[in-house]
Structure 1
Amino acid sequence: MADTIPASEFTRNFGRYRMLVQREAVAVSIHGSIAGYFVAPDEYEEFRRFKQRRRSFATAELSDERVRAIVSSRVPAR
């Protein structure tokens, strides 16, 4: 990834960073701290899908059928 880009530079030269982001993510900073990352649409969609797959849930949300399936699929202890 390239160096961090100040937000003022990012806004003045958005077109340049729009092209750069096709190759790598761009870190944007405000007053020396990273405010966020500018990424290509396909990278964002990949991240979104990854995050969605990692969804956690409470066991109380499981249906009785799913609980039975989990219990019946347990590997016996050795």
Structure 2
Amino acid sequence: MKTVASAEFVRQFGTYQRQVQREEIAVTSYGKVVGFYVSAEDGELLRQVKAARQAYHPAELAEDMWADIDAAAPSDQARALDRLMDD
């Protein structure tokens, strides 16, 4: 991953706009990373991952989510771990 100072990033934006298609760019200010410049594809992927990991307060859960929770069962691997913990 390339790291670039914010002033340089602004001056050479066109260069970094092309480069971001190959790798992410960390943008710094006074030596600290303040953000990342990523391709549109990577940005969309990040948005999808964040949306899939949304946390809900129990009061916000839709009825179908409650049904999924009620129907959920531990995997065989989780049951085996439970048996190990019981010993």
Q: Calculate the TM-score normalised by the size of structure 2.
A: 0.73
Aligned residues: 76
**Code of the aligned partner of 2:6:** A
Asked which structure has the greater RCO (Cα within 8 Å, sep 6+), the reply is 1
Which residues of structure 1 form unaligned runs of 5+? none
Query: Is the counterpart of residue 67 in structure 1 residue 63 in structure 2?
Result: no
**Code of the aligned partner of 2:50:** K
Which residue in 2 is equivalent to 1:56? 55
Which residue in 1 is equivalent to 2:42? 43
CA distance in 2 between partners of 1:68 and 1:45 (Å): 30
Note closer, same or farther for the CA distance 1:73–1:38 as it changes in structure 2 (3 Å cut): closer
Q: Calculate the TM-score normalised by the size of structure 1.
A: 0.81
Which residues of structure 2 form unaligned runs of 5+? none
Which residue in 2 is equivalent to 1:12? 11
**Code of the aligned partner of 2:19:** L
Note closer, same or farther for the CA distance 1:48–1:17 as it changes in structure 2 (3 Å cut): same
Note closer, same or farther for the CA distance 1:69–1:22 as it changes in structure 2 (3 Å cut): closer
What is the Cα deviation at residue 59 of structure 1? 1.8
**Code of the aligned partner of 1:18:** Q
SS in 2 for 1:35: strand
Identity among equivalent positions (%) equals: 34
More helix per residue: 2
